[in-house]
Structure 1
Amino acid sequence: MRYGCCLSMVAEGPDKTGREFIKEAARIGYDYIELPLSGLGSLSEDAFHELKKQIKDAGITCEACNNFFPADMPLVGPRRKEEEILKYTELVLDRAERLGAEYVGLGSGASRNVPQGVPLDEGYRQLAGLMRQLGRIAEKKGITILIEPLRKEECNLIHTLTEARQLAEDTGSRNVKILVDYYHFCTEKEPADHITGQTTDMLRHVHFARPDNRYYPTGEEHCSYKEFFHALKSIGYDSRISFEAYANNFSRDAEAALGLIKASVG
């Protein structure tokens, strides 16, 4: 298993990439970092080159990306601009490829939320059609897009692994799969068999955070993660786990969480 951290959750700099913590993530012992596509898309080409050099100098890799679309870029409904979406996708997936990322997660609840007045089934149809196009772009870049189920408080479309898998299958693209986020998984009270019913060809990535407050788990919480990790092990999952979590103190919390999760996974 490889362990990473999503730096957008602790970002303090104006570009919201969390680049100020790259060196520290490497020092702590993380195998990779996960950077936000929306942040990468806002960088100038010179700033992107500086970021790429910073990652290389730190001796760590960027193997996945999250935060696909900015909140002000709707993917469904009458306000969506397909040409703008596709142009943006070309830009950020090109940058993800140049960083060496293999996977990009599609959470982006605000972007994929079906607006009032649009039937949910119409929103689903629009999203599925768009995902087919995004899958073709991802295939050219050697990247796989991972649909992330989100809690209902963040989005009104795709809340469970079952629904995410159906959307992935409906795209008909081999470059569209799914990920599971423990925080959303617990909030939606999904049963473990939603994981055991998957295959490692479909379920490609894991996000992790405390289920009660979405912070790094550091050992003080009174919940067990064993059932979740047992379900992952039962399907032979042995890929990557990224902490997509907030921190009170990144250095302290990220280091404690890494030790905790390694002990929990076994």
Structure 2
Amino acid sequence: MASLGCVINPSMVLPDTLDADFVEPCLMGRFVGSENGRTVVLPRATHGLGGLPVKGAAVLFPGDLALADPATPLEHITQHLDRVAESLAAVSDGGWVVLGSGASRTIPAHVEREVGLARLAEVVGEATQRFAAVGFEVLLEPLRKSESNVFNNLGETAEYLDEHGLGNRMVCDTYHLFSEGLTSPHAVAQVGRIGHVHLSGHDRLPVHRDADAVFEVSDALVAAGYQGRFSLECAWPNGVDDLIADLAVCRERLPVG
């Protein structure tokens, strides 16, 4: 059976009785921050996580760290990665890290696209190596075009990984899928490359408020052979009450224990 968790922003506080198998907290603002332009490890990173194990993590880079610009010294990026890896290794024995970070990975207008893509491949390789050393897999996440001008769907992202000799798997996020006007066949076509799934309704609705659309995608992936984990990543206007309702409907409709 697959496991079920939730992506948690830095300010959210979870109850100790939450029916989740793991948490996937945002790294920026909870695990690491910035001080005088340098990344620093923050104390009490697991405060408010309801005592649940940290198995995954999201929001890897700050928005002002221009990953695709060769003018950004690579050592600044690797120093950040090392601080994050240090912070994660202190609280978890391994899992996955989602490389979404749309603002930071966007290719600036003054950088030629091929140059930016080459630098991003270098960054993905560095991240993969550094996190593998502490037991974490780096997963590349396609994001909607309004958040990033690169890696906007699973097909494009898979082609990029192949072209650059990168073996990373991907995250399928239903919110970004819906935002790009895509449906379950697009996800199913890449099922063998998907290492993790983020569940959300249209416009980041809680899953229980857009259940048919969300579970149409998850059901298609499971039918095609996906046996991995699921995380809820939604805007929960009613806070923990919405999250509890989402976990309950996922327990009913997903193949999770």
Choose which of 31, 41, 57 in structure 2 pairs with 1:65.
57
Cα deviation, 1:92-124, whole Å, max 9, x if unaligned, reads 022222322410001100000111122222211
Choose which of 185, 189, 194 in structure 2 pairs with 1:193.
185
CA shift in 2, pair 1:93/1:169, >3 Å: farther
Distance 1:249 1:110 in 2: 28
Report deviation, 1:251: 1.8
| Structural mapping, 1:1-266, within 5 Å | 1-8=2-9, 17-18=10-11, 20-22=12-14, 24=15, 26-39=16-29, 40-42=31-33, 47-48=42-43, 50-52=44-46, 58-100=50-92, 101-174=94-167, 176-200=168-192, 202-211=193-202, 213-219=203-209, 221=210, 223-265=212-254
Q: Is the 8 A contact 1:216 1:253 kept in 2?
A: yes
User: Which residue identity does 1:128 align to in structure 2?
Assistant: A
Q: How many residues of Structure 1 are paired with residues of Structure 2 in the alignment?
A: 247
Q: Is the 8 A contact 2:70 2:116 kept in 1?
A: no
Unaligned runs of 5+ in 1: 9-16
User: Which residue identity does 1:210 align to in structure 2?
Assistant: G
Unaligned runs of 5+ in 2: 35-39
Distance 1:53 1:37 in 2: 13
% identical equivalent positions: 25
Normalised by the length of structure 2, the TM-score is 0.86
Kindly indicate which of the two structures has a greater share of residues assigned to helix.
1
Q: What is the Cα-based RMSD across aligned positions, in Å? A: 2.3
Distance 2:132 2:81 in 1: 12
Report deviation, 1:53: 7.1
Report deviation, 1:3: 1.3
SS of residue in 1 equivalent to 2:108: coil
SS of residue in 2 equivalent to 1:6: strand
Distance 1:38 1:149 in 2: 19
User: Which residue identity does 1:51 align to in structure 2?
Assistant: A
Report deviation, 1:160: 0.7
Q: Paired residue for 2:37?
A: none
Distance 1:6 1:158 in 2: 21
Distance 2:231 2:219 in 1: 17
Normalised by the length of structure 1, the TM-score is 0.84
